[in-house]
Amino acid sequence: MVNANSLYSALAPYGFETTANVCYGSWRNYAVSILSAQYSIFQLSFAVRADKKDKNLAKSLRAELRTQLGKGLSTVLNQGNALQFAYRFDGKTPLVDQFVRAADAIAAALSAHGLTPAVTCAVCGGGTPDSLCVVNTYQPVHAACMHQKLETAKEQALENKENGSYLTGTVGAILGALVGSILPLILIISTNTISAFLYALVPLAAMFGYRRFKGKNDKVSIIIVILISLLFVALIDFFYIAYGIAEYFHASFSQGISLAFQNFGRLGQLMETGDIVQTFLFMALGIVVSWGYLTKTSSAEVKTTATLLETMRPNPMYSQGYTQGAQQSSFQSNAQDFAPDEAFSPAQSQQTDWNGQG
């Protein structure tokens, strides 16, 4: 298995840097980010501007690149602002050689499809972005846009701190959790089954409601939403038991609810140990699945944006001139373009990296 740190370290001489678990840099003037997936598979993202609705683009690129890269290339995704390539590195060939071969092949294929390096800002969509920055993937941006993004996050955090309310947020969380419980209840009534993944809708909807009702968005909000979510998940389970009672006695659902209430103290006895364990597991799963959204507090948003700014570097396409940069990134789609002696070297990379040197 290929270690991510080994690959990222091997690419450092080519001007690539690493933050958290993302490696990012510039290749053939494309902004490229590399993210470790699993089992030696890495996601290589090339910043372009493509039609996200074009379903044939990814299929066509995959078919073309498989002839050159073999089964090492597994999937291609068209995200609109980036093309993402899942590539498996082996533990035999030097990692740099594998990356150069894959990256050059991808860049050539993109160029052949008319997909030159992105020349619009990933934040505002305007032209001539002067910087590159990790925004989900490594993207061209205006430095001013990223700084404005940070200032906006700070202003929103301050406004929420001064005007947010736990009370209105709690009301919103209750209403949101109620809405999020509808699908699980419909599934129970229609199929007499329950889905673990639908439990994630409850905390997600609860937090959405909390924020829509201008709840104070801090760590306390996470506790409030989790407690309300657990309550509603317990209610879903209660209705599940009530439905089972109604089925057992050939009664209506409303009669099943009435019987469940009458025997509320004995519900624990009616449930098998496996059912109780399953309930707690479903509760935990729902919270885990939605954890990223739940913990997106105002202060966390400010910290995240500030961390993104640390990855911002000058855009080589801006310093070179976009027409010249696009010409330098173009390829001819024949086999000699991929010969080892024509691959990028660290020295060549330093001439065009985003540190503004060369």
Q: Which whole-number Å values give the CA distances from 167 to 1, 52, 64, 210, in the listed order?
A: 51, 41, 57, 9
- Has residue 131 got a pLDDT over 70? yes
Q: CB neighbours of 131 closer than 8 A, spacing ≥ 6? A: 140, 141, 142, 143, 146, 312, 313, 314, 315, 318, 354
Residue 30 near residue 46 (C-beta atoms within 8 A):
yes
pLDDT value, residue 28: 93
Q: CB neighbours of 89 closer than 8 A, spacing ≥ 6? A: 2, 7, 40, 41, 42, 72, 95, 98, 99
Q: Read off the pLDDT of residues 34-87 as tens digits, 9 standing for 90 and up.
A: 999 887 899 999 999 999 999 899 999 999 999 999 989 999 999 999 999 999
pLDDT value, residue 325: 54
pLDDT band at 332 (very low <50, low <70, confident <90, very high): very low
Q: CB neighbours of 329 closer than 8 A, spacing ≥ 6? A: 28, 29, 30, 107, 111, 116, 117
- Tell how strand 30-38 and strand 22-27 pair up: antiparallel
Level-2 CATH architecture, domain 4-141+315-344: 2-Layer Sandwich (3.30)
**CA 281 from centre of chain:** 24
pLDDT value, residue 188: 73
User: Across all residues in the chain, what is the average pLDDT?
Assistant: 83
- Has residue 267 got a pLDDT over 90? no
Indicate the domain borders of the chain.
Answer: 4-141+315-344, 164-305
Q: Read off the pLDDT of residues 181-226 as tens digits, 9 standing for 90 and up.
A: 888 888 877 876 766 677 778 888 999 999 999 999 888 999 999 9
Read off the amino acid at residue 356.
G
- Has residue 340 got a pLDDT over 50? no
- Has residue 330 got a pLDDT over 80? no
DSSP letters, 310-337, are TT-EE-HHHHH-HHHHHHHH----SGGG
pLDDT band at 287 (very low <50, low <70, confident <90, very high): confident
How many H-runs (helices) and E-runs (strands) does the chain carry? 16, 9
Q: Read off the pLDDT of residues 137-176 as tens digits, 9 standing for 90 and up.
A: 999 999 999 999 999 989 988 998 899 999 999 999 999 9
pLDDT value, residue 331: 47
pLDDT band at 299 (very low <50, low <70, confident <90, very high): confident
pLDDT band at 348 (very low <50, low <70, confident <90, very high): very low
- Has residue 353 got a pLDDT over 50? no
pTM greater than 0.85: no
Query: Which of 128-132, 321-325, 341-345 has the lowest average pLDDT?
Result: 341-345
